[in-house]
C-alpha cells in the first residue's frame, strides 16, 4: 500500500519529530536519542517511561524463531493483557502507533482532550478495532504527517523499474503491571518479558537485558536499529529547582551552576529541534525549480546533468566490480 493509499507517511526516527508529536497530543513528555544502555547514561534521563526501538523489519516464515521471544527472559505472548494494545492496520503508521501503545499504558497520563477522548472511546475494544479507530482518526493522522509531508513528485506511471527498499518498524518496551512488556502492532498480542525488581534501576534493568538480547540478533557493528527514550520533560524540574536555589540565596553555588548547564543544553536541543522541524515542514519544490531554471539560463544545467550521469555510471561500474547489484 502506498503513502497515498494509506494516508500515513513515513516517520523519521528523530527525537525532535517524536517530541513534536507528543506536544500535538498535549503530552508534556519528550523523546531523546539513546546511544548507550549503561546505567549512568540511562540514569541521567530518568524518569524514563518507555523505550522506542526502531529496527529493520524482515519477513519471517513459520519455522523461523521469533526474535522477540529469544531474549532468554521467558518471554511469551500475553493474550489476556488488560491494558491498551492496538494493531497496526495500515502502512507507515507504526511510529504513532508505538507512541499510542506506550501512552495508553502510562497511569494518570497528562494529555490533551482529543487524546483523552480517543483512549476513552477505545476502552474495551480488541486490538484490531483499536488499530482501525486510531488510523481512522483524521486529527491524529494530520499530527503524524505534520513533519513528514508527502513527496511533491511522483514517479508512478513512468514505467521505471521497481527497486526494493528496506522496511523499518517501531516497537515499544515499557513497564506494565510489574513486568516489562513489548508492544508491537504487527504481533497478535503484547509480549511479556517477565517481572522486574522495584529496587535499583527498576524496570530499566530488565528492559536492558531484553533490548541487548534483541540487538545481539544483528550482525556485530550493525546500524540497522536505533533506540529512543520516552521521558518526562526535565525543563520544569530544572527551572523549579533553580528558582528554589535562587530564592534561598544559593544561585551561585555548584548545584545551581550544574543546573544552569543542564538548562542551557536542554534549551539548545529544543532550538535545534525547532529549526530541523521547520525545515521538514517547508516545501522545497519551489526553490528546486527556481535553482534549475537559473542553472539552465546560465548554461550550467546540461553540464551538471552530464556530470551526474557520469558519476552514476562510475558508481554502477564500481558496484559491479565488487559483485553488488544496484538494487541491493
Cell numbers at 38, concatenated = 549503561
CA torsion 100→197→110→142, rounded to 10°? -20
154 three-state secondary structure? coil
Dihedral sign of CA atoms 284, 285, 289, 292 in order = positive
Catalytic residue from among 94, 144, 179, 193: 94
169 is catalytic: yes
C-alpha distances out from residue 52 to 49, 240, 285, 314, Å: 10, 28, 32, 39
Catalytic residue from among 9, 144, 169, 193: 169
Entry field: residues in the chain: 328
**Helices 254-281, 15-24: inter-axial angle, 10-degree rounding:** 90
C-alpha distances out from residue 8 to 90, 138, 160, 236, 289, Å: 8, 10, 24, 33, 26
179 is catalytic: no
Catalytic residues: 94, 169
Amino acid at each position: 500500500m502506498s503513502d497515498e493509499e494509506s494516508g500515513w507517511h513515513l516517520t523519521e526516527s528523530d527525537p525532535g519529530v517524536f517530541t513534536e508529536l507528543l506536544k500535538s497530543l498535549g503530552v508534556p513528555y519528550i523523546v531523546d536519542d539513546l546511544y548507550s544502555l549503561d546505567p549512568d547514561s540511562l540514569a541521567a534521563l530518568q524518569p524514563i517511561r518507555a523505550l522506542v526501538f526502531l529496527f529493520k523489519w524482515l519477513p519471517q516464515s513459520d519455522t523461523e524463531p521469533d526474535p522477540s521471544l529469544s531474549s532468554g527472559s521467558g518471554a511469551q505472548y500475553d493474550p489476556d493483557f488488560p491494558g491498551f494494545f492496538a494493531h497496526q492496520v495500515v502502512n507507515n503508521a507504526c511510529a504513532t502507533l508505538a507512541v499510542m501503545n506506550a501512552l495508553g499504558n502510562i497511569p494518570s497520563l497528562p494529555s490533551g482532550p482529543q487524546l483523552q477522548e480517543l483512549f476513552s472511546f477505545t476502552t474495551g475494544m480488541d486490538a484490531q478495532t483499536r488499530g482501525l479507530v486510531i488510523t481512522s482518526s483524521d486529527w491524529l493522522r494530520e499530527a503524524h504527517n505534520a513533519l513528514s509531508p508527502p513527496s511533491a513528485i511522483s514517479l508512478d506511471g513512468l514505467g521505471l523499474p521497481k527497486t526494493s527498499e528496506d522496511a523499518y518498524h517501531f516497537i515499544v518496551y515499557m513497564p506494565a503491571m510489574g513486568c516489562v512488556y513489548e508492544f508491537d502492532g504487527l504481533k497478535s498480542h503484547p509480549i511479556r518479558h517477565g517481572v522486574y525488581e522495584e529496587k535499583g534501576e527498576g524496570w530499566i534493568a530488565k528492559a536492558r537485558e531484553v533490548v541487548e538480547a534483541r540487538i545481539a540478533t544483528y550482525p556485530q557493528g550493525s546500524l540497522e536499529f536505533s533506540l529512543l527514550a520516552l521521558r518526562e520533560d526535565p525543563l520544569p524540574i530544572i527551572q523549579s529547582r533553580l528558582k528554589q536555589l535562587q530564592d534561598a540565596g544559593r544561585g551561585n553555588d555548584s548545584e545551581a551552576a550544574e543546573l544552569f548547564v543542564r538548562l542551557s543544553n536542554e534549551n539548545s536541543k529544543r532550538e535545534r529541534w525547532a529549526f530541523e522541524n521547520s525545515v521538514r515542514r517547508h516545501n522545497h519544490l519551489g526553490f528546486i525549480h527556481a535553482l534549475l531554471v537559473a542553472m539552465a539560463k546560465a548554461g550550467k544545467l546540461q553540464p551538471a546533468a552530464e556530470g551526474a550521469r557520469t558519476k552514476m555510471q562510475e558508481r554502477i561500474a564500481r558496484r559491479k566490480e565488487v559483485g553488488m547489484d544496484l538494487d541491493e
